[in-house]
């Protein structure tokens, strides 16, 4: 099934100037349907990550995600949601498979370079934060 999914290049990766490297790793595997750079407001970040409200890392995550510009990238393709999660790798870059985006560009479990929608429901919720 052709799906759309959202990737976000997080503030750690934009600061490290690896936007181009990361886009290169998805451009050959998906159709890029949109790219936008913006700085999330605290309110947007809190809503975006509402599913994690109450978890010990939630407040720090919101602070991190609003600490600098991010790049939202709308990707499309066959099974795009699952395939992007594979290209992105595990949440903790130290546990991410070699060659994945997080293994290559992540710093730690919070500053892990990118976000990727994890289900059709989350893609539907997340895409409008960047693309109306
Ligand atoms: P995911 O991004 O791989 O889907 P989630 O569990 O949905 O991982 O967590 C969302 C984001 O919250 C992670 O990408 C990471 O930035 C941050 N995070 C998750 N777990 C931890 C943790 O244990 N400590 C600090 N930050 C975390
Ligand atoms: Mg998640």
Give catalytic status of residue 115 as yes or no. Answer: yes
Question: If you classify domain 2-130 with CATH, what class do you get?
Answer: alpha beta
pLDDT digits (tens, 9 = 90+) for 40-63: 999 999 999 999 999 999 999 999
The residues, ordered by sequence, that sit 6+ positions from 73 with a Cβ below 8 Å of its Cβ are 6, 7, 8, 9, 23, 26, 32, 34, 35
pLDDT digits (tens, 9 = 90+) for 59-109: 999 999 999 999 999 999 999 999 999 999 999 999 999 999 999 999 999
Instruction: Note whether 67 and 50 are within 8 A (CB).
Output: no
Q: Which residue among 57, 92, 119 has the greatest number of ligand 1 atoms within 8 angstroms of its CB, and so is best to mutate?
A: 57
**CA dist., res. 126 & res. 124, Å (int):** 6
Which residues does ligand 1 sit against, CB inside 6 Å? 52, 57, 61, 91, 109-110, 112, 115, 118
Instruction: Note whether 67 and 60 are within 8 A (CB).
Output: no
Q: Give the pLDDT of residue 9.
A: 99
Distance from Cα 20 to the centre of ligand 2, integer Å: 23
Distance from Cα 110 to the centre of ligand 1, integer Å: 6
3-state SS, residue 122: helix
Whose CA is closest to 9, among 124, 27, 1? 27
Instruction: Note whether 12 and 114 are within 8 A (CB).
Output: no
Instruction: Note whether 30 and 84 are within 8 A (CB).
Output: yes
Q: Can you give the residue ranges of every domain in the chain?
A: 2-130
Ligand 1 atom showing the smallest separation from residue 115 Cα: 2
The residues, ordered by sequence, that sit 6+ positions from 43 with a Cβ below 8 Å of its Cβ are none
pLDDT band with cut points at 50, 70 and 90 for residue 131: very high
Please give the mean pLDDT across all residues of the chain: 98
Check 62, 115, 117, 127 and give the catalytic one: 115
């Amino acid at each position: 099934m052709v799906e759309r999914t959202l990737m976000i290049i997080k503030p750690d990766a934009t600061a490290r100037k690896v936007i181009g490297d990361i886009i290169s790793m998805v451009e050959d595997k998906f159709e890029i349907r949109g790219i936008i750079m913006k700085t999330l407001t605290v309110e947007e970040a809190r809503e975006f990550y509402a599913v994690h409200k109450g978890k010990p890392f939630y407040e720090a995550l919101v602070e991190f995600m609003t600490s600098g510009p991010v790049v939202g990238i709308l990707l499309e393709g066959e099974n795009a949601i699952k395939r992007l999660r594979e290209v992105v790798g595990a949440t903790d870059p130290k546990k991410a498979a070699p060659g994945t985006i997080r293994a290559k560009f992540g710093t730690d479990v919070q500053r892990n370079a990118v976000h990727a929608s994890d289900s059709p429901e989350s893609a539907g919720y997340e895409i409008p934060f960047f693309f109306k």
